[in-house]
Amino acid sequence: MVPLPAEALDKLSELQALTGWGQLLFPSIRSSKRCMSENTLNAALRRMGYGGEEMTAHGFRATFSTLANESGLWSADAIERALAHVEGNETRKAYARGAHWDERVRIASWWAGYLQQLADGPKRYATS
């Protein structure tokens, strides 16, 4: 389960207008029954001028993880759950089963707000 803030739901509604009413949000261009591959996103990044050493589709997850951890606002466990990472320590994995749902809802809202600020660009203030 993934918490979706209002901003994400709005974007999904916009996406639906482009991709239709199929089962997949991001269908393959070759078959609506298969999902778009990560390589499709990487190819789009290359066409935008980003080299493989600069950015990859998976790099967006790393960016989220870095910024969420550095913010100091969220527990590392909640961030890892938000990324759907599986605990590597077998003993901890057996006992630490919390979903951290409430915190993940707040993280999703925080991240959506952060991305919206980036999309809006710098604020311009009137000078007196």
Q: Which amino acid is present at 52?
A: G
Which residue numbers in the chain have pLDDT < 70?
Answer: 87-90, 92-97, 124-128
Supply the pLDDT for residue 23. 86
Supply the pLDDT for residue 93. 59
In tens, the pLDDT along 34-44 reads 999 889 999 99
* Residue 4 DSSP SS3: coil
| In contact, 8 and 108? CB cutoff 8 Å | yes
| In contact, 12 and 25? CB cutoff 8 Å | yes
Query: Residue 94 CB: number of other CB atoms within 10 A?
Result: 9
List % helix, strand, coil for the chain (3-state, nearest 5). 55, 0, 45
Query: Can you tell me the distance from the alpha carbon of 87 to that of 97, in angstroms, rounded to the nearest whole number?
Result: 10
Q: Which residues contact 111 (CB under 8 A, 6 or more apart)?
A: 5, 64, 68
